[in-house]
Chains A and B, each alone.
Chain A
Amino acid sequence: MPAVPAASSAAVAGTASSKPLGIGFPYISVLPPELYRSGLLDFVELTPDTLCRARRDGAATRLDLAPERLERARKVCGALPVVVHGVELSIGSAQHWNAAYLDMLDQLQACWPFVWHSEHLSYQTIPGENGAPLDIGVPLPLPGTWEAVDLVAERAAVIRQRYGVPFLLENPAHYLINLPYERGIDDEIGLITQITARSGCGQLLDLHNLYCNAINLGFDPFAAIDRTALHRVREIHVAGGSWRGGFWMDAHNGRVPNPVWELLAYTLPRCPNIAGVVYELLEEYAPRLGVAALDQELSRARYLWERHGPGSRAQD
């Protein structure tokens, strides 16, 4: 299988430039709504599953937007632009992806247009005994095979067409060594590079995921960034984690570790089409962390954005 030539233009559809948004933060329903009007953030990242109810529809599960949750989220977010970050699509499942998620996303886009949307490069379902999708319980990374590249690239291209806004794939955190990688793909950087190049979609570069994998699987994260197709990176995630069972876990449970801030400072000036940096935090940890700490993390992200992001380049 021949390697895909590197994209020659920054204006690839997945990263087609629009005005950079700046610093983003997830919509977390338990936080004070004032946070979203404080000026600390420029846009909001929605995980639409949190606005949904699931219900059985025959053998399938249907996702319905819950009007009261949607209404509250819109009220809290006000006029801030929104982007969507999915966790349910299972874009890499060999036999099924989550069509119900896309149906729900259709509904969401119709009532609350988003600037771009993203999904993890992973799979979380396998065929069950009767062929219906069976949840694994956690997302798993794809093996680096050309079959996987073709499958995901084709699906990503379909999604780009369907929503007409940039679609980004996120590099996942995982703990699996010895995943197979075919020649020409070679590693997880090669895998996502091949997929984004073939599909024309962009990349959500999660620096905490990269940091986790670098620690747990043993590689240099700066060298990995150097090999990433950074012209495709539209969004960057930073987050916190913690040690558990001898692994640095992608827990989204607190402050961003210093090495991840260092990675952000290194990466930002190298991403010509970057449009936003999001500090990720899980809802269950947000109240414990507190608004003061959130303020500090978002302010630090903004400092780096202003110093190394698109605005700094315009001033140069």
Chain B
Amino acid sequence: MPLLDHQMALGQCLRGTDAEARTAPILDAKEQGQIDRIVESAGFRFTRRVQRSWCRGRVASVARLTLSALPPEQAQKLLGDWIEMGGGTASHTAAEAGAFLEFIARDLPDPSHARTICRMEQAIYRASEAATDFECPDLRLLDDPAAALCAGQGAARVDFFAEPQQLLTAIEEGKRLPPLSETYIAVLFAPGLAGLFRAASADEIALWEELGTPTTIRILDSLYGRDVIKELFRIGAAELAVRQDAGRSISAGSAHNLSADTPPNTAGNRGAPLRDADAPAISRHQCRCRARV
């Protein structure tokens, strides 16, 4: 049997997801018999148990806080569902942390502490990943009024409906969570922040909301103080929307407010039009933030 067929047949049996059955190799009777003898053995069943256990351990480690904030049965079910969908197989699970947390967030009530923690863990992954090669941008780039800004790819805003430290301590210590407040504390996560996060000011919150759509500095200047714009730009919470050749629709960054329901890579602000007072001049260019995956 060709090596590729052998590996695909065994690998797919081990992963055991329905979606992969479509790529199963076509084996003749002898080859199928060879695979069956392996797959029907106790050793293969044990290997599958080990595989599931490893996957579970990997995934649990990337969403530790969020899973701690959920009732144990719910946490176990979410983990199990994700593993059955093929999750947790990569050794470097951090790469799928965002997707798993998005998967969890789908069914969490909004607002809820669990959802806040989920978004916070997601924001930390995003900001820390972006921080690895983040350099403070040249602030003179803001001197071009026609340039457009959008939300930074490594940035996020997360709203806490309790004092954040109190909430985190309660989760860490397995204590009763504080009541859900009617007001919230907005926390900004960005790669250029020491420690990656801090409370956001009211002006920053307002500007951040604006950045959901790529907006020219001309407009931003008319609405916000230059200091606020500079600060969000400096810490990577805002970044230049990159212009490309004409002919395609404009799309913006995927970060923005993590309380949005859409997954990080398909966020609702992608494809949004560029906002500017003299839009026709700008719209000759395509404008796009670096795609985040």
Interface residues of A (CB under 8 A from B): 49, 52-58, 61, 63-64, 66, 87-88, 93-95, 123, 125-129, 134-138, 140, 142-143, 145, 147-148, 151, 174-180, 216-217, 244-247, 249
Contacts and interface: CB of A to CB of B under 8 A. Distances in A.
10 smallest CB-CB distances across A and B, nearest first, come from A54-B92, A175-B43, A137-B89, A126-B11, A135-B89, A94-B4, A56-B293, A178-B37, A94-B3, A137-B51
Contacts of A178: 34, 37-38, 41
A127 B20 CA distance: 10
Contact of A140 (B11, B20, B34): B11
Given A61-B90, A137-B51, A54 B8 contact: no
B77 interface: no
Contact of B2 (A54, A57, A147, A216): A147
Given A94-B7, A123-B7, A175-B46, A180 B94 contact: no
28 contacts: A53-B132, A54-B92, A57-B293, A61-B90, A61-B92, A66-B132, A93-B7, A94-B7, A95-B4, A126-B11, A129-B19, A129-B23, A136-B89, A137-B15, A138-B47, A140-B7, A142-B3, A145-B3, A148-B3, A151-B3, A175-B44, A176-B41, A176-B47, A179-B38, A180-B6, A216-B43, A244-B46, A249-B50
Interface string B7-26: 11011101100011011000
B23 A55 contact: no
Contacts of A177: 38, 41, 43
B8 A127 contact: yes
Nearest to B8: A126
Interface of B: 1-4, 6-8, 10-12, 14-15, 19-20, 22-23, 34, 37-38, 41-44, 46-47, 49-52, 54-55, 86, 88-92, 94-95, 129, 132, 293
Nearest to B9: A126
Contacts of B91: 49, 87-88, 135
B51 to A, nearest CB: 4
Contacts of B1: 143, 145, 180
A61 B19 CA distance: 22
Given A135-B89, A147-B3, A245 B8 contact: no
B99 to A, nearest CB: 10
B90 A138 contact: no
B15 A127 contact: no
A8 to B, nearest CB: 30
Contacts of B95: 54-56, 61
B85 to A, nearest CB: 12
Nearest to A135: B89
A57 to B, nearest CB: 8
Given A49-B92, A176-B47, 18 more contacts: A55-B132, A57-B293, A61-B92, A123-B7, A135-B89, A135-B90, A136-B51, A137-B51, A137-B52, A138-B14, A140-B7, A140-B47, A143-B6, A145-B1, A151-B3, A175-B44, A179-B38, A246-B46
Contacts of B12: 126
A209 B1 CA distance: 27
B92 A136 contact: no
A278 B208 CA distance: 53
Nearest to A146: B3
Contacts of A140: 7, 10-11, 14, 47
A49 to B, nearest CB: 6
A181 B269 CA distance: 55
A30 B1 CA distance: 45
Nearest to B36: A178
